[in-house]
Amino acid sequence: MDIEKAFENVQMHIGKEEYDKAGTILDSVVSFTKDIRILLKCASILKVTEDDVRCQDVLDKISETNIPSDERLAVAISLRGLGRPEDAYDIIKNEKDSDKVHYERARTLLLMNDDENAFHEIEMIAEKGIEHRILLSEILCSLKRYDDAYRISSQVVNDDNNSYRSLVNLCASLTMMRKEKEAVKIAKQHLKNGSTDSLALFAYVMRINGRLPAAAAYAHKAIMKDNTHKGALETMAYCLIEKGRFREAKIAAGAINEVSPGDTVAIRILDACRRS
């Protein structure tokens, strides 16, 4: 079977919104191969096209496969992103300890609402980088240790040069502490530079504070400046979901997936559409 040609045909059918035809081709690919990377690609496509029955069947096949040790971490990351954190954790729970493994275990355990063990895993990383500390602050918020979360978030903003991701993390921590006005103040201060990130940040803060019209307006402004900005597209999608405009939210998810195929943000948006 020509796998590359099969995927080309799948994309052709998706472009025509012929999703069942795409699914039928992917059925043949899944039956033909045992290659984990190809199976994950099939699952990701099926997730994005909302063919959940086929997607779960593929994920079941992956979970039951004897995965080579050098692929286990990558497979676990993919399964977590595809909404199977329990299967992801089963794959890496006995893996040899390393910073990458501790980080992935922590992310997965947080999704599983096992905050204490998530904290234990992230604390095993001796020299924490920006991503590690952002995750640590999220875990601390989940543990209701808000002051510690805020302290770390503030340090990360300084160390990461006021990046979008660090400011989102800081504003989220402040909002969890019920210091919404301070989060809005920070977002407004950065709004003065008029960058896409600052518009997207303000949109995010408006959304998590329930001010959806303002959130949608500023997300729209950010998207007009950069239609690939993942944060702005995510905020817009959730605003649309709140209004019951699921088709448009899925278009936003599709835009994220086009820039970053199989992105967990796009998958979370699609899952939110299904739950609403």
> What CATH number should be reported for the domain holding residue 212?
1.25.40.10
What integer pLDDT is reported at residue 270 of this predicted model? 86
Q: Residue 22's closest CA among 33, 11, 32?
A: 11
Q: Is the pLDDT of residue 124 over 90?
A: yes
Question: Is 58 within a domain?
Answer: yes
Give the domain-ending residue among 12, 41, 66: 66
Type of residue numbered 105:
R
Q: Which tokens is 203 given?
A: 């949109």
Over residues 132-145, the pLDDT tens digits come to 999 999 999 999 99
Average pLDDT, the chain: 92
**Domains held by the chain: number:** 2
Question: Is 239 within a domain?
Answer: yes
What integer pLDDT is reported at residue 220 of this predicted model? 96
Cα separation of 220 and 239, whole Å?
11
Long-range contacts of 105-113 (CB under 8 A, 24+ apart): 106/135, 106/139, 107/80, 107/135, 108/76, 108/80, 110/135, 110/138, 110/139, 110/142, 111/80, 111/85, 112/85, 112/86
Over residues 24-73, the pLDDT tens digits come to 999 999 999 989 999 999 998 898 888 889 999 999 999 888 888 889 99
Q: What are phi and psi of 35, to 5 degrees?
A: -70, 120
What integer pLDDT is reported at residue 255 of this predicted model? 86
Question: Is 144 within a domain?
Answer: no
At which residue do the structure tokens 């992230």 appear? 122
Cα separation of 51 and 30, whole Å?
14
Q: Is the pLDDT of residue 271 over 90?
A: no
Question: Is 41 within a domain?
Answer: yes
Mean pLDDT of 184-192: 94
Its domain, for residue 32, covers 1-66
What integer pLDDT is reported at residue 264 of this predicted model? 83
Total residue length of the chain = 276
Question: Is 74 within a domain?
Answer: no
Cα Rg, the chain, nearest whole Å: 20
Mean pLDDT of 162-191: 95
Question: Is 45 within a domain?
Answer: yes
Q: Is the pLDDT of residue 239 over 80?
A: yes
Q: Do residues 267 and 81 make contact, with C-beta atoms less than 8 angstroms apart?
A: yes
At which residue do the structure tokens 């007009």 appear? 224
pLDDT bin (cut points 50, 70, 90) of residue 258 is: confident
Question: Is 120 within a domain?
Answer: no
Over residues 93-118, the pLDDT tens digits come to 999 999 999 999 999 999 999 999 99
Q: Which tokens is 251 given?
A: 């278009």
What integer pLDDT is reported at residue 83 of this predicted model? 84
Q: Residue 244's closest CA among 201, 206, 212?
A: 212
Residue 149: half-sphere exposure toward Cβ, Cα within 13 Å: 23
Q: Which tokens is 50 given?
A: 């909302």
Give the domain-ending residue among 17, 37, 66: 66
Q: Which tokens is 240 given?
A: 């649309």
Give the domain-ending residue among 22, 41, 66: 66
Q: Residue 144's closest CA among 176, 112, 181?
A: 176
Question: Is 77 within a domain?
Answer: no
pLDDT bin (cut points 50, 70, 90) of residue 256 is: confident
Contacts of 50 (CB under 8 A, 6+ apart): 19, 250, 270, 274
What integer pLDDT is reported at residue 104 of this predicted model? 97
At which residue do the structure tokens 């640590």 appear? 136
Percent of the chain exceeding pLDDT 70 equals: 99
Q: Residue 256's CB: how many other CB atoms inside 10 A?
A: 24
Mean pLDDT of 174-191: 94
Sign of CA dihedral 193, 148, 92, 98: positive
Cα separation of 121 and 101, whole Å?
9
Q: CA torsion angle for 245, 250, 255, 258 (degrees, to 10)?
A: -170
